[in-house]
Structure 1
């Protein structure tokens, strides 16, 4: 099977879509498939091109046994509104040349990763020209997210964006997304059910597993033996709602036994650093390397997943998989009825988005109840093992890939996704079938 993956983000980015795209490419290559990638130079989540890379040059490299072609892009200092659109468009235009060059390779499947949907026309063009199947994997609904976060105001521009989104989605042979609710959203946009697939973000449950000893980070950060660590690890951007977590930390500053640790990078990191400096119970560290992820996640007694209301209903945060695999308690912000709420039912504590008071109360309660933390962490770990393991997700992807090459992408592959991602039945995760 020849698979061409086309996406903005890729390794060595450590968070977000780039992490999962690279892991998928390498896992499928390890299963014997020929995989090539067209992507941008690494820049996320810092929003600046990483040292040793050029934003303006084409580049070819071998990474993990895969041929990776990098196309230039513009990275704005303040990626909001028109600047963000220009950023996405710069890659969509610059990547046309390396994509067209793949026509002679004759891929069996062209898989585009959204964001960014602006790359979808090129992916479709190449797929049709080379006789390949066209697959779109949706990590995030860009238009919905922009509207929900107030980045795209209601009006003609928003209508045009929704129309473009729907037109693109309906033209792909396979459209996958990372949660059942997001797959249901595809149906409302006109995608036939037989063309959709739920492919949740996965986690290597062998690499990320509960620590049976104190994390090495405790000594490195000077955290006392009796302190309860509340950890946020991930992107520090607008939709994460980190101001609510800072508010919760301020409300709990009188508790000397609770330490908040913020780990990551992003547009709001400098502002967050200034806020943390004013609170004696907060510690801020930079983005950590992938080989230290188990130690980092094992530092937490309580993981936190704050979110703004507009983002909380639309996506399944990619950082959730590692949290669950680490076997630690989780407090998240989500509305009832969302996929995130259902996944954490019986496996975590969920409060309403943008409610710092409720977040502080949940953390306060868990900090006082070690047995509850242990029960929730164990339940989350079971869910990760049964429903989010790398092998089980790759088997689902591979099954549809073979269907695309054989009898057609819509033939004989419509299976109940709930059995795959782990259905909530009495707060227990059902193992994949």
Structure 2
């Protein structure tokens, strides 16, 4: 098949959507399919483009068997709701004409659009209809819902109009997939039919991310005492991650030298986190690590931590959770009772109400003092990961669904 993927994030971004879009396209190319990608220069999670790419020029490259077209975009220095909208619009305006041109000239069998950004869905649908391609929307994040939850968008007539447009647009795609059952339910509430919707979860390669037989070399490089229990967060450092809670929890445990909090990554609030943790001996900040060292990094942890803002777990299924579970460590996670994320965490970690630093610190302490419980929960998480989110099984199922859509589309 000829497949065109359209989305703002792509390889070599190491975290989030770009990581998964890159792995998907390279896997499809390895299966013999012809893959092209319209995307932006890599900028996430640092919100900065490296010197080898440009924010103002178009760029074409071949990456691991995939034809990649990079489109210019504006990267805001200050993060705000308005700036984020302008940032996403800048990519939409630069990429939409190219996507339409490629669709008309190349005639792909399917155009797969990744949300966010939601703004790209409409031009992608137009391109698919004009070129005779099947249209597939993959929702990694319910962007409008998430923006409302963190009050980037206030309730208003404009919001109601936006939600109505979203429902209409979703109904026009041939397939709409998302990464969790709860997100699929939310899409159905918005008007996506049963025949349209497909569960397409994120995945993990458990042959690469796995428990090590000996202490991680990175742990030794960082000079962490072998008797110290490490609570690790690795990933994007943005508003919705709720990482301020970790700083507060570390303050609660400042008198316990046996527990060390390690925060690794980059993002819009990293500087704030560094400033608020000045003088704290039980917090260590690390830069984003290269992909080849991800397994070493995750094995630095005795406990993985996953704080989130309240209400975020309804609209977001954190992709970093899979790597945590694959390495056989328990997770302390902020989520509301009864939600899909909470049901997963209760099997392989400790659930804490969002925003409660004291209970978060108590959960970390409980696991720190009980290595047997850590091992048991870690083993359960590893088995769960292998059975539900193994890379080869997830991508093979996706390809089967994509092939079925292609056959139906050709017959219509």
TM-score (norm 2): 0.98
Post-superposition Cα deviations, 1:43-84, rounded to whole Å, max 9, x if no partner, equal 111111123211111000000110000111011112312211
Contact 1:400-1:409 within 8 A present in 2 as well: no
Contact 2:311-2:336 within 8 A present in 1 as well: no
In structure 2, C-alpha distance between the alignment counterparts of 1:66 and 1:356, rounded to whole Å: 45
Aligned to 1:171: 172
In structure 1, C-alpha distance between the alignment counterparts of 2:62 and 2:98, rounded to whole Å: 15
Residue 131 (structure 1) shift: 1.0
Aligned to 1:343: 344
Aligned to 1:382: 383
The SS at the match of 2:347 is coil
Aligned to 2:215: 214
Aligned to 1:256: 257
Aligned to 2:158: 157
User: Mean alpha-carbon deviation: is it higher for 46-55 or for 143-152?
Assistant: 46-55
In structure 2, C-alpha distance between the alignment counterparts of 1:22 and 1:360, rounded to whole Å: 36
Post-superposition Cα deviations, 1:313-336, rounded to whole Å, max 9, x if no partner, equal 211001111001111111111111
Aligned to 1:82: 82
Aligned to 2:185: 184
Residue 144 (structure 1) shift: 0.5
In structure 2, C-alpha distance between the alignment counterparts of 1:217 and 1:371, rounded to whole Å: 24
* 1:216-235 pair list within 5 angstroms: 216-235=217-236
Cα distance change on mapping 1:46 and 1:157 into 2, 3 Å? same
Aligned to 2:308: 307
Aligned to 1:287: 288
The alignment status of 1:104 with 2:80, answered yes or no, reads: no
* 1:30-45 pair list within 5 angstroms: 30-45=30-45
In structure 2, C-alpha distance between the alignment counterparts of 1:242 and 1:36, rounded to whole Å: 36
The alignment status of 1:371 with 2:389, answered yes or no, reads: no
The SS at the match of 1:217 is helix
TM-score (norm 1): 0.93
Contact 2:326-2:381 within 8 A present in 1 as well: yes
The SS at the match of 1:42 is coil
Aligned to 1:20: 20
Residue 239 (structure 1) shift: 0.6
Post-superposition Cα deviations, 1:56-114, rounded to whole Å, max 9, x if no partner, equal 11000000110000111011112312211111111111002321221221100100000
In structure 2, C-alpha distance between the alignment counterparts of 1:31 and 1:65, rounded to whole Å: 11
In structure 2, C-alpha distance between the alignment counterparts of 1:410 and 1:87, rounded to whole Å: 39
* 1:112-127 pair list within 5 angstroms: 112-127=113-128
Residue 184 (structure 1) shift: 0.5
Structure 1 vs Structure 2 CA RMSD: 1.4
Aligned to 1:420: none
Aligned to 1:8: 8
User: Mean alpha-carbon deviation: is it higher for 15-24 or for 339-348?
Assistant: 339-348
The SS at the match of 1:361 is helix
Residue 194 (structure 1) shift: 1.1
In structure 2, C-alpha distance between the alignment counterparts of 1:19 and 1:321, rounded to whole Å: 13
Contact 2:182-2:314 within 8 A present in 1 as well: no
In structure 1, C-alpha distance between the alignment counterparts of 2:107 and 2:315, rounded to whole Å: 35
In structure 2, C-alpha distance between the alignment counterparts of 1:76 and 1:335, rounded to whole Å: 32
Paired residues in the alignment total 411
Structure 1 stretches of at least 4 aligned residues deviating more than 2 Å after TM superposition:
275-278, 407-411
